[in-house]
Chain A
Amino acid sequence: MGFLAPWFLGGLLAVGLPVFVHLLRKQTTVPRLVSSLMFFEQGTQSSVRHRRLRYLLLFALRVALVILLALAFARPFFRHKTAAASDKLLLVVVDDSFSMNASAGGPGTKLDEAKRGALAVLSHKAASQKAQVIALGGEMRLLTQPVVDFGQLRAAVEGIEPGDGHGTFGELARGMRAMAETVHTPVELDLFSDMQEANMPGNFADMVMPGNVALVLHRVGAASPVPNWNVENVQAPGQLVDTKKARVIAVIAGHETPAATRTVSLVVNGNVVAAKKVDVPANGRATVMFEGLDVPYGESRCVVRIDSADGFTADDARIFAVKRADPERVLFVHQASDSRSPLYFGAALAAAGEASFVLQPITPEQASDIDPSKYAFVVLSDVPSVPSILENALLRNVNDGGSVLVATGMSESHREHIPVYGGSVQDGHFYARGSLADEGFSTVGQADASHPAIKDARGFEGAKFFYAAAVDPGKARVVARLADGSPLVVDKQIGEGHVLLFASGFDNLTNDLPLNPAFVAFVDQTARYLSGEERVSGARVVDSFVQLRNPVNEESAVANKETGATVDIIGPDWKRPLSLREAAVAESFQLARAGFYQVRFANGRDALIAVNPDPRESDLAVIPDDVLKLWSGSPGAETAGDSIQAEVQDGRGVSNLWWWVMLLLMIAAVAESILASRYLGTQREQP
């Protein structure tokens, strides 16, 4: 038996209090005057000795109360023999995150060493003891059920392949806590990992194991930091029109490395098209820029590679995909009298970095027989009425995955119906006609920076709005609001497509946004978002998700059933990871491996997605020993070899007696109250 907080036993000194009250304190009595002692007799039982005897039980209860209180604070525990070794569940967890592909210093990788260690532990288990094999990568994967069959366990361990995910010990602890709710038997968890510091969660408490889990840590690889260079980041356009204007920027990082010169190569479709030397400072970063990216039309698979000559070659390259195509056309429908809107919008579109769009202005009358599916997206700029043929064609196109940008402008006819969007303008806010106390304009008060259309549109808040239509957003997503709370940009999903509503105009009359620098970024981002390019471009890391189709609602589900719209994915290993059924219903897909994924989305668009491992896996710094000891629950435990074993590993368990002490305390308190009130209560004679 022991105490978790023995210093609270000092509270036992308080036992002196009832001793003083009951045994040591002099009983002083104030004499009472009576008329006559004629009817009184000497109370022979009222001696102090009798008083002591009489209150002995009360005294004992009070002493017990003090002792139990001190014990409760001291948190007593009781060591006992735990269940037999055969009743203890053995969990063998092998870290298969990306960093385990690094060399262990000898022959083979860290993963190989981890697997050898795991097999050694499993071979020493008792024949009747159950064991389970778990792989810890981006997520925790149970490779077997708790079984006693060594052959099955060995097969599971040997079947662990090098992964590309980013492991986290917080995920492991979370899984153990979930398991502890159902498994109450003692668990011995043997973790084989490189104990990478980057795998620790932000909060240490997140990786603390539940009480019935004895953690045994087996570190593989060197305990000292290993120098490693890697390509940390690559910025390249996802889609390009002019190969000469394209730029590729790569960041080369060194972890625990000396200053060195590295050769950086740009590889396109297997051919080295450029190479540069870069000086990487000690334990620092360097940037390399390649001007021009000469890729053929269509999708190209590109790689930025360095000659690191370190023990971890898997992170020496970073891939990206580039699509070269002619500029896509954007249909811009506007009134004949409005020549300003196409001018401003077209100029912004042309000024955008990639310039992969060409604006085609047109009046509503001319647009009657236009097929919207031939355009990246369609803009309806302050159009009072749209030919019904065009509106129906636009609606069909949106349902199939197309997109429309609607600017309401000041047209009164929108009060009845906004084309394609479906709603109507309820009112118009003329901020310029406000009282003299007002400034005569409104500004953007709230912007949803997570929306792709405005995420990089810095300075958007500086634009002045003199007029804005009041639109009921309904269930649509409000991307931006004006200072008075009225929606400015609303994104409404219809079928597979989107309709983006801009509650003002592009003509520099209802607002000065077209003259604002943020307008270029806004138009550029909006164009990328509406054309679908945004969905597939950008950095992708292993274990991230790609959205295959819009979230299922009843309408689109029915439409999918009718049309049988499926997605198609070909993984880095040239296999299709989705079954036919999954391809028909899956809304998203987890990119579990590094490499190129060919994806055909539900709206018919194709994309080549490059997936890279998490760059944090390249930092091979290991967790300090004292932290590992703290994690394993035995701060004073000695490190034996490369394994740190918890103190409770000796086959003895701990039972906390706190609840029992508290129960006794409550019983003693109740008994003391009853006894004290009985002895010491007012003894009043009733007539």
Chain B
Amino acid sequence: MLQRFLDPAVLHGISGLDLVAKTVVDGFVAGLHRSPDLGFSLEFAEYRAYSPGDDLRHVDWNLFARTERCYLKRYRGETNTQLTVLLDASNSMKYGSGAVTKMDYARYVAASLFYLSIHNQHDPAGLIVFDDEVRDYIRPSTRQGQLYRLLAGLEQAEPAARTDFGKPLKHFQEFLRKRGIVLVISDFYEQPEAIVKAIEPLRFHGSEVVLLHVLDAKEIYPEMRGPAIFVDLETDQKLEVIPDYVKTQYRAKMDDHLEQMKERAQAAGLGYHLLTTDKPLDRALTEYLSLRQGGR
């Protein structure tokens, strides 16, 4: 029943990102039919024969006493995985055909991921908010109050200015020196080549990079009754557009853009997922958990 709280339209009625995040994660985990206290790092994985140089602290002495053979005990998730969310806070994220804008949806996703990471997985999590500059940076940590710092950072991330992946990503390299999971949440209104080229270096430190492409459903399937003047949210540029164009060429261009994004991201070893604001949030969380498992 809690699954319904993954619906963005329902979450829009909940005030406070912490409550949104808790609602989403609890609902999501309940939907997995597993314990909410699931801990990967404490799970036993296998035995491995001792070889010289191994840390004696991991030797299973009980086994040695019974069998006189020296084995090391191996656990899953021996180390914590650092989660860093790169949130696009440009003006284009203000768009929303319904109650939930793309920025709202991105906040919900980020907040839910932070909650899942810190509260459930005890992983350090951090946030970088950017448009054409890096506007805010919260270092990944598991310290007390880290979750609320992150949520406050999300609250303050109001859309402004334009998107430019080139300039801020130069700085990302400085912030992301430790390997972990990097999630880039944006509407990616840029040439796929440029986006991938700008983000690809983040993988060089061994991090898993995933692009979460957030779009409104009406951006993919627009409705038009007649000719209209469109205003660009980022540049204020105006353009008169006719329905015939939207019906034919726009659709083709958008499909091509999405296809290019997916292909180029995959070619560069980046994860890519298209999220529309009318769909539940579970897809983003599932992606994170699968990466968390795979990156152990």
The interface centre, meaning the residue of B92, B231, B245, B249 with most chain A CB atoms within 10 A of its CB, is B245
Q: Does A685 contact B (CB under 8 A)?
A: yes
Contact among A29, A30, A39, A46 with B257 in the assembled complex (CB-CB below 8 Å):
A39
Q: Does B237 contact A (CB under 8 A)?
A: yes
Chain A nearest CB: distance from B215 CB in Å?
A: 8
Chain A window 673-687, contacts with chain B (Cβ cutoff 8 Å), 1 for yes, 0 for no: 000000010111111
Q: Does B221 contact A (CB under 8 A)?
A: yes
Cα A129 to Cα B223 with chains together (Å) = 75
Q: Does B19 contact A (CB under 8 A)?
A: no
Contact among B221, B232, B242 with A687 in the assembled complex (CB-CB below 8 Å):
B221
Contact among A37, A41, A682, A683 with B232 in the assembled complex (CB-CB below 8 Å):
A37
Q: Does B32 contact A (CB under 8 A)?
A: no
Cα A36 to Cα B221 with chains together (Å) = 15
Q: Does A45 contact B (CB under 8 A)?
A: yes
Q: Does A40 contact B (CB under 8 A)?
A: yes
Contact: B230 with A685, CB < 8 Å?
no
Q: Does A641 contact B (CB under 8 A)?
A: no
Q: Does A33 contact B (CB under 8 A)?
A: yes
Contact: B239 with A685, CB < 8 Å?
no
Contact: B227 with A37, CB < 8 Å?
no
Which residues of A, 23-50, contact B by the 8 Å Cβ criterion?
A: 29-43, 45-46
Specify which chain B residues have a CB less than 8 angstroms from the CB of A34 in the assembled complex: 95, 219, 230-233
Cα A38 to Cα B250 with chains together (Å) = 10
Cα A253 to Cα B216 with chains together (Å) = 102
Specify which chain A residues have a CB less than 8 angstroms from the CB of B249 in the assembled complex: 41
Which residues of A, 189-225, contact B by the 8 Å Cβ criterion?
A: none
Q: Does B55 contact A (CB under 8 A)?
A: no
Q: Does B240 contact A (CB under 8 A)?
A: yes
Q: Does B65 contact A (CB under 8 A)?
A: no
Specify which chain A residues have a CB less than 8 angstroms from the CB of B244 in the assembled complex: 43, 45
Tell me whether A51 and B241 are in contact in the complex, defined as CB-CB below 8 angstroms, given that A35-B187, A39-B250 are known contacts. Answer: no
Contact among A29, A40, A682 with B250 in the assembled complex (CB-CB below 8 Å):
A40
Q: Does B224 contact A (CB under 8 A)?
A: yes
Contact: A41 with B247, CB < 8 Å?
no
Chain A nearest CB: distance from B138 CB in Å?
A: 26
Closest residue of B by beta carbon distance from A46: B227
Chain B window 253-287, contacts with chain A (Cβ cutoff 8 Å), 1 for yes, 0 for no: 11001000000000000000000000000000000
Chain B nearest CB: distance from A501 CB in Å?
A: 85
Tell me whether A685 and B231 are in contact in the complex, defined as CB-CB below 8 angstroms, given that A39-B250, A39-B253 are known contacts. Answer: no
Contact: B95 with A33, CB < 8 Å?
yes
Specify which chain A residues have a CB less than 8 angstroms from the CB of B254 in the assembled complex: 39
Contact: A40 with B224, CB < 8 Å?
no
Chain B at the A interface: SS class: mixed
Specify which chain A residues have a CB less than 8 angstroms from the CB of B226 in the assembled complex: 29
Contact: B241 with A46, CB < 8 Å?
yes
Contact among A46, A680, A684, A686 with B242 in the assembled complex (CB-CB below 8 Å):
A46
Q: Does B229 contact A (CB under 8 A)?
A: yes
Contact: B102 with A51, CB < 8 Å?
no
Cα A34 to Cα B101 with chains together (Å) = 12
Chain B nearest CB: distance from A5 CB in Å?
A: 40
Which residues of B, 202-222, contact A by the 8 Å Cβ criterion?
A: 216, 219-222
Contact: A33 with B239, CB < 8 Å?
no
Chain A nearest CB: distance from B275 CB in Å?
A: 14
Cα A261 to Cα B92 with chains together (Å) = 117
Tell me whether A29 and B233 are in contact in the complex, defined as CB-CB below 8 angstroms, given that A35-B189, A37-B239, A39-B257 are known contacts. Answer: no
Q: Does B228 contact A (CB under 8 A)?
A: yes
Contact-residue bracket for chain B: 35 or more
Tell me whether A29 and B227 are in contact in the complex, defined as CB-CB below 8 angstroms, given that A36-B189, A37-B237, A46-B242 are known contacts. Answer: yes
Chain B nearest CB: distance from A358 CB in Å?
A: 104
Specify which chain A residues have a CB less than 8 angstroms from the CB of B246 in the assembled complex: 40, 685
Contact among B187, B237, B242 with A45 in the assembled complex (CB-CB below 8 Å):
B242
Specify which chain B residues have a CB less than 8 angstroms from the CB of A33 in the assembled complex: 95, 230-231, 233
Q: Does B158 contact A (CB under 8 A)?
A: no
Q: Does B251 contact A (CB under 8 A)?
A: yes
Tell me whether A51 and B250 are in contact in the complex, defined as CB-CB below 8 angstroms, given that A34-B233, A35-B219, A36-B232 are known contacts. Answer: no
Cα A40 to Cα B245 with chains together (Å) = 8
Chain B nearest CB: distance from A681 CB in Å?
A: 9
Specify which chain A residues have a CB less than 8 angstroms from the CB of B290 in the assembled complex: none
Q: Does B200 contact A (CB under 8 A)?
A: no
Contact: A684 with B223, CB < 8 Å?
yes
Contact among A30, A36, A38, A43 with B241 in the assembled complex (CB-CB below 8 Å):
A43
Cα A38 to Cα B237 with chains together (Å) = 11
Q: Does B31 contact A (CB under 8 A)?
A: no
Tell me whether A40 and B189 are in contact in the complex, defined as CB-CB below 8 angstroms, given that A31-B228, A32-B231, A33-B231 are known contacts. Answer: no
Specify which chain B residues have a CB less than 8 angstroms from the CB of A680 in the assembled complex: 225
Contact: A36 with B234, CB < 8 Å?
yes
Q: Does B235 contact A (CB under 8 A)?
A: yes
The interface centre, meaning the residue of B224, B238, B242 with most chain A CB atoms within 10 A of its CB, is B242
Specify which chain B residues have a CB less than 8 angstroms from the CB of A687 in the assembled complex: 220-221
Closest residue of A by beta carbon distance from B229: A31
Specify which chain A residues have a CB less than 8 angstroms from the CB of B222 in the assembled complex: 685
Cα A30 to Cα B220 with chains together (Å) = 21
Chain A nearest CB: distance from B287 CB in Å?
A: 23
Specify which chain B residues have a CB less than 8 angstroms from the CB of A39 in the assembled complex: 250, 253-254, 257
Specify which chain A residues have a CB less than 8 angstroms from the CB of B237 in the assembled complex: 37
Contact among A40, A682, A685 with B247 in the assembled complex (CB-CB below 8 Å):
A685
Chain A nearest CB: distance from B247 CB in Å?
A: 6
Chain B nearest CB: distance from A47 CB in Å?
A: 8
Q: Does B243 contact A (CB under 8 A)?
A: yes
Which residues of B, 100-148, contact A by the 8 Å Cβ criterion?
A: 102
Cα A510 to Cα B232 with chains together (Å) = 108
Specify which chain B residues have a CB less than 8 angstroms from the CB of A40 in the assembled complex: 230, 239, 241, 245-246, 250
Cα A37 to Cα B253 with chains together (Å) = 12
Closest residue of B by beta carbon distance from A682: B225
Contact: B230 with A51, CB < 8 Å?
no
Which residues of B, 32-52, contact A by the 8 Å Cβ criterion?
A: none
Closest residue of B by beta carbon distance from A687: B221
Chain B nearest CB: distance from A38 CB in Å?
A: 5
Cα A51 to Cα B225 with chains together (Å) = 13
Contact: B223 with A685, CB < 8 Å?
yes
Contact: A683 with B242, CB < 8 Å?
no
Contact: A35 with B242, CB < 8 Å?
no
Chain A nearest CB: distance from B243 CB in Å?
A: 5
Q: List 30 A-B contacts (CB under 8 A).
A: A31-B229, A33-B231, A34-B219, A34-B231, A35-B95, A35-B102, A35-B187, A35-B219, A35-B234, A36-B187, A36-B189, A36-B234, A37-B232, A37-B235, A37-B239, A38-B189, A39-B250, A39-B254, A40-B230, A40-B246, A40-B250, A41-B239, A41-B241, A41-B249, A43-B240, A43-B241, A43-B242, A51-B227, A683-B243, A684-B223
Closest 4 CB pairs of A and B: A43-B242, A46-B227, A35-B92, A36-B189
- What 17 additional pairs, Cβ within 8 angstroms, besides A31-B229, A38-B189? A29-B226, A29-B229, A33-B231, A34-B233, A35-B187, A35-B219, A35-B232, A35-B234, A36-B187, A37-B239, A39-B253, A40-B245, A41-B245, A46-B241, A683-B225, A685-B247, A686-B221
Q: CB within 8 Å of B: which residues of A?
A: 29-43, 45-46, 51, 680, 682-687
Q: CB within 8 Å of A: which residues of B?
A: 92-93, 95, 102, 187, 189, 216, 219-235, 237-247, 249-251, 253-254, 257
